[in-house]
Amino acid sequence: MEKRQEIYILDKGGQMVFYFNATEKAENEEQSKLLTASYLTGILQFAKAASGDIISTFELGKLNIMLKMGNLPLYYVFIAGKKTKLKEKKIDKMLSQIIEAFESTHTIEQINAWDGNLYAFDDFVPLIKKILKVK
């Protein structure tokens, strides 16, 4: 699992709005995704409380994690296993492209009207695959 590349988009309350895993095709571990989203929310809340801002990049075991905010009230998270050999600069570039693509195709009204459906933004999957260069 060290080669993994995952994208989480979380709302301000920490709920997972969107999830994409570029490395696992058949496996659908809903519970694992939700636990990771909860864990990331805890990190975001701690970072904001400790520094008044959001941590941008950190390492957790064999993972590199980058957190960013865009213009919409969302947190964007890119998790890459160290075996992917993605450097911080490349992760930052891909995450910035993901933010730009998501925010150019989705509106604040859509985010505010979001009802918790984890598949509501599945229309974003082809764009994210193009950015990450996965099939």
Per-residue confidence in pLDDT tens, the chain, 135 aa: 457 788 989 888 778 889 898 876 545 555 465 556 666 666 666 556 555 555 577 777 787 888 888 899 898 988 888 777 778 888 889 999 999 999 999 999 999 999 988 889 999 999 999 998 887
Domain CATH code at residue 21: 3.30.450.70
Domain count, the chain: 1
Residue 75 is part of which domain span? 5-132
Measured CA to CA, the distance from residue 47 to residue 45 in angstroms comes to 5
Q: What's the pLDDT tens digit per position in 93-104?
A: 999 999 999 999
